[in-house]
Amino acid sequence: GGVQRLGGSVAAMAQGVDLGPGDLDIVPELGIDNLRRLGMLLRDLGAKPKYVPEWAAGPDRETCERWRPEPFDLTTLDHRFVTPHGELDVVPVKAGRFHDLLPRAVVMRAFGREIRVVHIDHLLAQLDRWDRERDRARRAALTEARTRFLSGETPPALESHPAWAGRPS
């Protein structure tokens, strides 16, 4: 498997925040071998960039439909993707770079695997940075989860979260 960090709403869920994910955010390591593995995974999943008409900087519908993972680089792989399993948001730079997040990443187990989740302090900092309505609403829950995390409390297993009911692992 490739080298990624879990971020966004699913990372918050892994930290014990009760919310439903809109997508799965991953922060990939930017080495060419890892980007190649990521691109091949996206291809195997049947992923296509999500077309969002109101996003002026986003790709148009035709570009989304024609998308291929090659070349395996940031311009090709830095998108929110639609897959048969749900949305996958590859955020190699916008949410922090892999190597900058690595020293504080939290190792957890989920779905029988070891995963690395961005630190809850980083999630809180991102909320401040983007200052979106939905993020302001999540601040209190993340702050409470941070208090539990710092006290050593282990959050419930990610796969036991109600938002995963009926989803593939």
Distance (Å, whole) CA 124 – CA 139? 7
Query: How many residues are there in the chain?
Result: 169
Tokens at 62, concatenated:
């035709």
Q: Is the pTM of this model over 0.85?
A: no
Q: What are phi and psi of 63, to 5 degrees?
A: -65, -40
Report how far residue 71's alpha carbon sits from residue 36's, in angstroms, rounded to the nearest whole number: 8
Provide the sign of the torsion angle of the four alpha carbons 48, 49, 52, 57, taken in this order: negative
pLDDT (tens digit, 9 = 90+) per residue, 68-82? 999 999 889 999 999
pLDDT tens-digit series, residues 5-23: 778 888 888 888 887 777 8
* DSSP 3-state of 128: helix
Query: What are 104's two structure tokens?
Result: 């504080």
